[in-house]
Structures are given as C-alpha cells and as structure tokens.
Structure 1
Amino acid sequence: MSIRQIADKKFQIDISQGRTGKRIRFVFEGSEEEARIAEVKAKKQLGKTARDSHLINEIAPDYLEHVRLHQSARTYRDKKRMIYGQILGFFGNYHFDFINNTIVGSYKTKRLEETKGRKIHRQINLELLTLSAMWKWAYENNRCVDEPVKIQKLPYRRPEPDTLTRAEVQKILKHANPFHRAMIGCLYYAGLRMNEVFDLETRHINLDGRFIRAKGKGGYERLVPMADKLYEMLAGQVECRRLCGFNHLFPSLRNAGAKATDMRRGLWGAMKRAGIKKRVTPHMFRHSFATHMLEAGKDLRTIQELLGHKEVSTTQIYTHVALNRKKDAIGSL
C-alpha cells in the first residue's frame, strides 16, 4: 500500500520512483481522502507521471462514448443504465485514485440494504465489473494515477442452464420454416449467441471451407466449423441472399435492408406445430449445444473455444448439467 495509517488522522505516504529512483516517504496529517490528494500532488511534483486525476462524474460520459463505439448496443445500454442508475450516485464525486476496498465494501452494503434482502448479488457484481472496466479505461487514458484495485465479488452461484433434449431440438427444427430453421440451426449446431446469428452476413459463411466467421462479445472473432446439417440449412439461405443482393444472412422480414432482431415468433410457431409446450428460449439451443457435446465426451477446452468463452470457468457450468443427467440415469436403475 502506498498510504498506511500509522495513528489517528496520521498517514505515511510511500512513493516509489522505480528500481533506479529514490523512494520518497513522508508523514501526512489529516483525513484519508486528504492524504490521497496529497499523494497525487506529490507524484505530479516528482514528475512520476503526466497523468491527471478526474472525478468519476467527469470520466463517465467519455467512457460510455468509448463503449458505444467499440462494444455492442446491448452492452452500451446495460452499462449506461448501471452507471447512471447506481454507480455515479455513490462514486460520482470520487476520484478513482481515492477508492479502496473499504469504500467498495460500503457500496456493496448500501446496495444490499436498498434491496431488502432480495438476491441481487449477480447484479451488484455486474455493477462492480462495470466500475472496474471504467477505471481501467481511465487509467489507460491518463484520467487517473493509480491502476484499478482488485475488487472482491459477492458470492454468487450461477444457476444451471436450462437445456433441451436431442429429440426436442430435432422436433423444433423439423417444424420450423427454412428461414427460422437456419437461424435455430446456427444456435444449436454452431453454438452461436442470438445476436451473433443476427449479425451474420453472407461473407461470414464460407461454404467451400465449411466454417462460419462469428463476431462475439467485445468484437472478438472466432471460426466455427459447419456441421453437415447446418451446411444444408445455410447453403440455400446464402444463395437466396446473394440473388437478392442482401448482405445480411437473416434480413428483417419487416424493415427492408435491416437485419433481423427477433426469432421468437418463428420459434414459437415451430414449437406449437411440434407439440412442445415447455418454456423454450433461443439461448437454450446454445446451452444444449454445449451440454450435448459434453455428454458425447468432447473436451471442455474445445467447447470453450467454439462458444467463444474467454474463461474456461464459464464453460464449466455445463459439466454440472451433464453430470446431473448421468446421476438421473443411474438413479433410475
């Protein structure tokens, strides 16, 4: 720690100037916030950095503009809602350089008290993740002096994802029209997210090489091999779009020139015709893709790469689903 309390309203400030520089150490009397301000001023006077320190209220609009330009529309909406709805109300008049885990802990307590015991640990963790991302951006763009502190998340156990059986998937695919069958096929046979399906253009479908170039979260691209069944579904769609001069693989059926933004009506129609009455969402096909691959003995790392997960821990949730199905099978003996 560069600031250490040594007595009541007395702090030792320790500034390192690198391996070859001299370490500066002095005692400051006042509040912790005043000590942090003194530390920032001392660093500037020593020429350690040309960085400036801004209020988080001042940083937020510029960070959100960065998000708008470089991340998905949904991510922008979610982060804007969290920043203006919760984060700035508490942290807005702070400098990032004055935030520590004690202050973050106060934010957690405040949010938990506001929600009166409701289970919103995941939501609070998302807010803290957004705060960390904004802090990292501020540091990289010379808006604060110190790097982000490591924020400890609230305990949260992600619920097991709902999946479909192989028979249910095939029933739905059989009763879907060719347009929506191809959409659902991308979810199940390629493990794409719904927005990744909507973003597909004909140039992303390589029929000769039999792979899809999918653009995932954060703009990261990945190549997903095309199963034979998916190839059959997509080949006709690609040819049709090229003949019509459309770039989007799945154009909107209502707005000419725009991409599709919903597939639920087509999915619900196929479910009704198939006689499936359980609740089904488009994302359940992606969950089913991962679960069925694990049940078939495919390795976790390969599934992680196909799904576009940054961390293998995100993919591990599917191992619980596959294991529970095996337990059910044994329990039926």
Structure 2
Amino acid sequence: MIDDYLAYLQVERRVSPHTLDGYRRDLEALSAWTRKSADGDVAALREADLRAFIAAEHRRGLSPKSLQRRLSAVRSFFQWLLKHDRVAANPAAGIRAPKAPRKLPQVLDPDEAKALVEVSTEAPLGLRDRAMLELFYSSGLRVSELCALRWRDLRLDEGLVTVLGKGGRQRIVPVGSHARDALREWRSDSGGADEAPVFPGRGGGPIGPRAVQVRMRLLAQRQGLFKRVHPHLLRHSFASHVLESSGDLRGVQELLGHADIATTQIYTHLDFGHLAKVYDAAHPRAKRRDPR
C-alpha cells in the first residue's frame, strides 16, 4: 500500500524527489513500528495505535517539527487509503503533533541583496551568474523552478516568467527590469534557443540545484557576504521585502506559489517601527494627540 501511495505521489501529484523521499522515510518508519508493535497490518491501525507511534518517535528523540512532518505524511497516506476504500476511516485525522517553535527565516537586507546580485559580468560566467541571481531576487523562484526554466518560459518584453511549482501548479510571476536586462545580456552571449535551458549545466542539460547552491556560496564570499547564502535565502528576502513594502499578504502568497496562506505568514516578521507606522496611518483612533 505504501508503494502504491508513493507511486501516486510521484505520477499524479508530481511531488519533487525531495518531498517523495521525505514521505518514504516517514511511512517506512510507520511500517517498521507496525511490524514491531502492532501485528504488521498498517490498514488495521487505530487512533490509539498512531498516538503510540508518535509517542515512540518522540521518545526516540524526534523534534516537534519532525513529528509534525511525520504525522502529516501518515495523515495524507490514510486519507488516500480512505479514498480508495482500503480503510473505513482515517485514524490520524484527529491527532495533532506537539507545537514546534517557529523560526523566522533569515533574510538579506536590501543593501546586502543588492551587493549579492550585482556580481561582475566580466568574470568567467559573470553574465550567467548575474542573470541567475537577479532572477532569484526579482521573482522569488524556488531553486527547482529556476533550474527547470527554458527560454520559452520567459516573456521579457512583458516582464513575466511562467514557472511550474510544487504539485505541478503553474503560475506567472513578474520579472523586474534589472533581471530582464541581465537575462537579455545572458541570452545574447549564450545564444539560447527557445527550447534550451536558461541556465544549462554540463552536457547542455539544465543546471542542477546542487551546482546552483555551491555557486551561490562562492559568489556570496566574492561579494563580501559571509552569511550562509543559499537560493532560498533570496526567496525569503524577496518575500520579506515585498511584504514590508506592500503589506499585501495574499499578493505575496500568489507570487510565491504557496497553496496555504499559513505558509506565507512566516514572512510577517515586520519590525515594530514599521508596524507602528502602519497602525498609526490606518487606525481611526490611533493618532497620538499633541501633548501641548
């Protein structure tokens, strides 16, 4: 049943290999615990059994965040079994994992982001690196989305890019003027055809996520940034800077391609001074009286 479910995730839901590996690990942990503690029949598990499984994983040292992820995989698995009439109810539906402390994402401030993306185009691969970093910061793409881009996906005259995100969800994202200029220069230099990858790797295929991560770390050091710089840091910075300027959480959700707005809410870590200005400007009874 687990193999059938993983095949469904891969073929029909089109989840990423990273997500698929996570589900596999979580469900294999459930299967191993079931063989040892519950007669080996996953389909016969009840709510009390799953509570015992989560408790055992907690005693084994799993963090609240890991328990949340493990329970989410189990809940989704049983929901699929229920849909296909393999179980009579979802025993995980009413179980909640311990709350995990939510870490705020690290971001670059606007000056640091500017320093990072403005790499020299005279260096080897400089035009490619500049186009890649500008596009990351301009449009908040995931590294998998950037690696998969073909030139046909970019409409530079309109300032738009079409990307295929998680779960096979397609979205159209704006591309800023600096990124458009950098991409035009890179295409002119590389001679990219419509069907060619925007950022090719060795052999002409799309560049891999790991190669992008390693390159970004090197470029950050060259630019004098000694934070832990990675592709998602520019996505975090994009989201934080747009949200701070606009206050439009729904808009940022659409730009990032989040299915659930709760995922986007992590970027509402605006500083108190900014929040106070928003409050004073918006609330009818917030105006402070002149003490004189």
TM-score computed with the length of structure 2 as normaliser: 0.81
1:231 to 180, 183, 201: 180
The residue aligned with 1:154 is: 98
Cα 1:241–1:141 change in 2 (3 A) is: farther
The answer to whether the aligner puts 1:166 opposite 2:96 as a matched pair is: no
The answer to whether the aligner puts 1:114 opposite 2:60 as a matched pair is: yes
The answer to whether the aligner puts 1:250 opposite 2:199 as a matched pair is: yes
Report Cα offsets for 1:118-159 as digits up to 9, x if no partner. Answer: 6x1111111111111211222223332335623313211220
Please tell me whether the aligned partners of residues 241 and 247 of structure 1 are also in contact (alpha carbons under 8 angstroms). no
The residue aligned with 1:182 is: 131
The answer to whether the aligner puts 1:196 opposite 2:145 as a matched pair is: yes
Rg larger in 1 or in 2?
Answer: 1
The answer to whether the aligner puts 1:99 opposite 2:42 as a matched pair is: no
Structure 2 Cα separation of the partners of residues 91 and 203 of structure 1? 49
Structure 2 Cα separation of the partners of residues 222 and 236 of structure 1? 25
CA drift at 1:278 = 2.3
Where 1:263 maps in the other structure, the secondary structure is: helix
The residue aligned with 1:10 is: none
AA paired with 1:269? L
The residue aligned with 2:283 is: none
The residue aligned with 2:88 is: 145
Where 1:291 maps in the other structure, the secondary structure is: helix
The residue aligned with 2:253 is: 304
Q: What is the alpha-carbon root mean square deviation over aligned residues?
A: 2.5
Cα 1:181–1:285 change in 2 (3 A) is: same
Structure 2 Cα separation of the partners of residues 112 and 126 of structure 1? 13
TM-score computed with the length of structure 1 as normaliser: 0.72
Gaps of at least 5 residues in structure 2 are 121-125, 278-292
Q: What's the % identity of the aligned pairs?
A: 27
Gaps of at least 5 residues in structure 1 are 1-58
Higher relative contact order (CA 8 A, sep 6+): 2
Please tell me whether the aligned partners of residues 211 and 226 of structure 1 are also in contact (alpha carbons under 8 angstroms). yes
The residue aligned with 1:293 is: 242
The residue aligned with 2:287 is: none
After superposing the two structures, state which structure 1 stretch, 215-224 or 147-156, moved more: 147-156
Structure 2 Cα separation of the partners of residues 313 and 243 of structure 1? 38
Cα 1:326–1:98 change in 2 (3 A) is: same
Where 1:289 maps in the other structure, the secondary structure is: helix
AA paired with 1:152? R
Where 1:198 maps in the other structure, the secondary structure is: helix
CA drift at 1:108 = 1.7
Report Cα offsets for 1:265-322 as digits up to 9, x if no partner. Answer: 33233223222222222211111111111221331110111111112121111112x2
AA paired with 1:303? V
Structure 2 Cα separation of the partners of residues 197 and 326 of structure 1? 32
Where 2:161 maps in the other structure, the secondary structure is: strand
Matched residues, number: 264
The answer to whether the aligner puts 1:60 opposite 2:2 as a matched pair is: yes
